[in-house]
């Protein structure tokens, strides 16, 4: 059985690597550094989960989220927004746009791992 | 009718617009006081004339009474003298003497009453002369004639002579009474005319005063009440928030000052409100910029902090080969350097 594919969208390479290392070897990863790349990879890779930064070149991560929710094949993909904008209004904006989880930067690697595992766990399991 | 009063009031207000309101009220009150005073003075004059007329009538009655009393005495003299000559009864002689003795008193009373009236005084004087002539030239000589020769005393010649005297006296009495009646009528007519004129003048003054009072009321209503209501309505609009409210600056001096002060107040309030709104907008903008700045600073700081805390946490909790561990430490170091630079930049700002 192929490992779940996680699309990591963040303009900071070190943070993309940190997410990758935090989640370990049980996943295959696709990485995007800007909004256009994120949308393109989502359309082509069809990830099982998306980790999405908010502030990226070419727009905001929320526009990527809105795209995912508008495409039938991608609208059920779990999305975890990971943002350095941590006010309540940013939190609410992410959930309003259809996010399944929200982590504040700096995030705890173990918490990221736990959230991802929960979202990818089979229903009822 | 209200329309007529309204136009009249506006015209009055316009004509007297430049004078102070206090002057309007004082002038109006003074004119009214003078007119009401004049009306009362004319009414008093009319009453005085009526009293004079009444006094004149009473005086005429007194003169008539004195004249009739004199006529009565003359009749008594005539009848008692003729009674004595015809009958020889001494009772008549007593009546004759009583009549004679009362003459001075009766004449004195009559003269006193007519002393101030030259015509009547002359008539009274003639009456006294004729009566004295009757008594002294006819009556007094007739009694001794009767005592000596009653037949001669009863002769028709002497009787005609007596009748002549008596008729002359009666003529005098009639003249005096008629003259007094005429004089009394003239006095009464004059008094009535004056009283009527005074009453007419009083009524005219009262009507004029009432009309002026009405005009004064209309003026007060238009010159004071209406402008005050306008100001009150303007104040209500300002209180309700309409600071653009302005009132026409017109009317009497005090009202002009009031509307000017009101407009100045409204302008000041409107200006103050605009300044406050501008300051509020500046504050809101400043707050928004501050919030955005804090958000950006927070984001910029949290990105390297995420690397430092994330990799250090992984190094502390998990096992890595030496090469990876060293690379993660380098990442931590470089993110620390980046964080330090950012902090310094922010502090410089």
Q: What ipTM was assigned to the predicted interfaces of this complex?
A: 0.90
Nearest to B313 among A17, A85, A108 (CB): A108
Q: Which of A23, A3, A77 is nearest to B314 (CA)?
A: A23
pLDDT digits (tens, 9 = 90+) for B145-166: 998 899 988 888 888 999 999 9
In this structure, what are the phi and psi dihedrals at residue A82, rounded to the nearest 5 degrees? Answer: -120, 110
In angstroms, rounded to a whole number, what is the distance separating the alpha carbons of residues B158 and B144? 13
- Residue A123: which pLDDT band, with cuts at 50, 70 and 90? low
B253 Cα distance to chain centroid: 24
In this structure, what are the phi and psi dihedrals at residue A28, rounded to the nearest 5 degrees? Answer: -105, 145
Of the residues B158, B188, B222, which one is the last residue of a structural domain?
B222
CATH number at residue B280: 1.10.287.130
Whether B41 is covered by a domain: the verdict is: yes
Whether B140 is covered by a domain: the verdict is: yes
Of the residues B222, B254, B288, which one is the last residue of a structural domain?
B222
Whether B189 is covered by a domain: the verdict is: yes
Q: Which of B251, B237, B286, B319 is nearest to B13 (CA)?
A: B251
* Most distant CA atoms of chain A, gap in Å: 40
Answer whether B20's CB lies under 8 Å from B254's CB.
yes
The mean pLDDT of B29-51, rounded to a whole number, is: 76
Going along chain A from its start, the domains and CATH numbers come out as 5-52+61-108 (3.40.50.2300)
Query: What's the confidence (pLDDT) of residue B300?
Result: 86
Whether residue B177 sits in one domain with residue B67: yes
Enumerate residues 49 to 108 of chain A having a beta carbon within 8 A of any beta carbon in chain B: 55, 84-87, 104-108
In angstroms, rounded to a whole number, what is the distance separating the alpha carbons of residues B309 and B286? 33
In angstroms, rounded to a whole number, what is the distance separating the alpha carbons of residues B8 and B138? 86
pLDDT digits (tens, 9 = 90+) for B311-342: 999 999 999 999 999 999 999 999 999 999 99
Residues forming beta bridges with residue A49, ordered by sequence position:
A6
Residues forming beta bridges with residue A56, ordered by sequence position:
A59
Query: What's the confidence (pLDDT) of residue B3?
Result: 62
Q: Do B306 and A108 touch (CB under 8 A)?
A: no
Nearest to B310 among A55, A104, A107 (CB): A107
pTM of the model: 0.48
Whether residue B270 sits in one domain with residue B218: no
Of the residues B222, B239, B273, which one is the last residue of a structural domain?
B222
Q: Which residues of B touch A87 (CB under 8 A)?
A: 295
Question: Within 10 A of B228 (CB to CB), how many other CB atoms are there?
Answer: 12
Tokens representing A79 are 């999305």
What distance, in Å, lies between the first and last C-alpha atoms of chain A?
17
Whether residue B131 sits in one domain with residue B15: yes
**Residue B147: which domain range?**
9-222
Tokens representing B337 are 């350097």
In this structure, what are the phi and psi dihedrals at residue B92, rounded to the nearest 5 degrees? Answer: -65, -35
Instruction: Tell me which chain A residue has its CA closest to the CA of residue B330.
Output: A14
Whether residue B203 sits in one domain with residue B276: no
- Residue B209: which pLDDT band, with cuts at 50, 70 and 90? confident
Whether B121 is covered by a domain: the verdict is: yes
Whether residue B20 sits in one domain with residue B130: yes
Q: Do B306 and A87 touch (CB under 8 A)?
A: no
Query: What's the confidence (pLDDT) of residue A125?
Result: 43
Domain count, chain B: 2
Q: Which residues of A touch B305 (CB under 8 A)?
A: 105-106
Whether residue B280 sits in one domain with residue B215: no
Coil/strand/helix, residue A10: coil
């Amino acid at each position: 059985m192929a490992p779940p594919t996680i699309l990591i969208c963040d303009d900071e390479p070190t943070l993309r690597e940190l997410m990758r290392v935090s989640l370990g070897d049980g996943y295959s990863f696709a990485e995007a550094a800007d909004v256009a790349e994120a949308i393109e990879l989502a359309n082509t890779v069809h990830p099982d989960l998306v980790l999405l930064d908010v502030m990226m070149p070419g727009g905001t991560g929320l526009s990527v989220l809105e795209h995912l929710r508008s495409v039938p094949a991608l609208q059920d993909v779990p999305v975890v927004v990971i943002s350095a904008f941590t006010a309540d209004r940013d939190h609410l904006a992410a959930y309003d746009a259809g996010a399944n989880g929200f982590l504040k930067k700096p995030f705890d690697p173990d918490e990221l791992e736990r959230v991802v595992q929960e979202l990818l766990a089979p229903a009822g399991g | 009718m209200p329309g007529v009063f309204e136009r009249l009031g506006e015209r009055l207000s316009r004509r007297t617009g430049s004078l102070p309101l206090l002057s309007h009220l004082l002038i109006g009150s003074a004119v009214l006081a003078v007119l009401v005073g004049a009306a009362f003075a004319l009414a008093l004059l009319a009453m005085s004339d009526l009293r004079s007329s009444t006094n004149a009538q009473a005086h005429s009655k007194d003169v008539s009474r004195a004249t009739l009393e004199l006529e009565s005495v003359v009749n008594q003299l005539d009848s008692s003298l003729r009674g004595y000559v015809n009958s020889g009864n001494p009772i008549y002689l007593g009546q004759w003497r009583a009549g004679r003795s009362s003459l001075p008193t009766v004449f004195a009373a009559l003269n006193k009453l007519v002393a101030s009236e030259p015509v009547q005084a002359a008539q009274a004087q003639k009456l006294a002369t004729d009566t004295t002539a009757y008594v002294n030239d006819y009556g007094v000589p007739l009694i001794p004639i009767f005592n000596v020769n009653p037949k001669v005393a009863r002769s028709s010649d002497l009787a005609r002579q007596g009748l002549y005297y008596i008729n002359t006296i009666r003529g005098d009495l009639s003249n005096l009474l008629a003259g007094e009646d005429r004089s009394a009528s003239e006095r009464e007519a004059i008094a009535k005319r004056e009283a009527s004129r005074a009453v007419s003048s009083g009524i005219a003054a009262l009507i004029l005063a009432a009309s002026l009072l009405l005009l004064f009321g209309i003026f007060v209503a238009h010159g004071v009440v209406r402008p005050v209501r306008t100001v009150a309505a303007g104040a209500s609009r300002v209180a309700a928030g309409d600071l653009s409210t302005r009132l026409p600056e017109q009317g009497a001096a005090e009202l002009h000052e009031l509307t000017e002060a009101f407009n100045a107040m409204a302008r000041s309030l409107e200006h103050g409100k605009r300044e406050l709104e501008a300051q509020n907008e500046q504050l809101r903008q400043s707050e928004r910029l501050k919030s955005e700045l804090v958000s950006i600073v927070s984001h910029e700081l949290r990105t390297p902090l995420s690397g430092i805390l994330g990799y250090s946490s992984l190094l502390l909790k998990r096992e890595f080969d030496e090469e990876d561990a060293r690379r993660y430490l380098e990442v931590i170091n470089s993110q620390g350097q980046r964080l330090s630079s950012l902090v310094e930049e922010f502090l410089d700002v």
